[in-house]
């Protein structure tokens, strides 16, 4: 089975500090995408960042960056200069490739930002 694992159900970070959320996945595919989605209390699902597996360079979007270790099947999200608005559930997600995009989600990490 191809799965996505988030081992940290809850995390907290001080405002302005840096936090890293972990995600591991299991696949036999060689070409795929990986995503992090954010779900604030409004419950809207928002794409935070996208990584293409064939790219060695880690993706970055403003204060959000990933540490992608393809051999280890690890895809962690780093949030720098944490802000109160970063408080949310964060989901790691991975779509099957091969033309059929059934996206599999981890169980999520709830991030608390402490003022």
Partner 1 sequence: DADVTQTPRNRITKTGKRIMLECSQTKGHDRMYWYRQDPGLGLRLIYYSFDVKDINKGEISDGYSVSRQAQAKFSLSLESAIPNQTALYFCATSDLERGELFFGSGTQLSVL
Binding mask 15-44 for partner 1 (x = CB under 8 A): ------------------x-x-x-----xx
Q: Does 90 bind partner 1 (CB under 8 A)?
A: no
Q: Does 50 bind partner 1 (CB under 8 A)?
A: yes
Q: What CA–CA distances, in Å, run from 102 to 13, 34, 69, 93, 94?
A: 32, 12, 22, 10, 8
Number of chain positions touching partner 1 (CB under 8 A): 22
CA 107 – CA 110 distance, rounded (Å)? 10
Which residue's entry shows tokens 């599999």? 104
Positions in the binding site for partner 1 (CB under 8 A): 6, 9, 33, 35, 37, 43-45, 47, 50, 91, 93, 95, 100-108
């Amino acid at each position: 089975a191809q799965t996505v694992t988030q081992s940290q159900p809850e995390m907290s970070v001080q405002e302005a500090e840096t936090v890293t959320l972990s995600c591991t996945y299991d696949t036999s595919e060689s070409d795929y995408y990986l995503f992090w989605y954010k779900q604030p209390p409004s419950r809207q699902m928002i794409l935070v960042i996208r990584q293409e597996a064939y790219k060695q360079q880690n993706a970055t979007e403003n204060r959000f960056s990933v540490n992608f270790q393809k051999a280890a099947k690890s895809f962690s999200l780093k949030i720098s200069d944490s802000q109160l608005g970063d408080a949310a559930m964060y989901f790691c997600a991975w779509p099957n490739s091969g033309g059929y995009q059934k996206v599999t989600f981890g169980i999520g990490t709830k991030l608390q930002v402490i003022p």
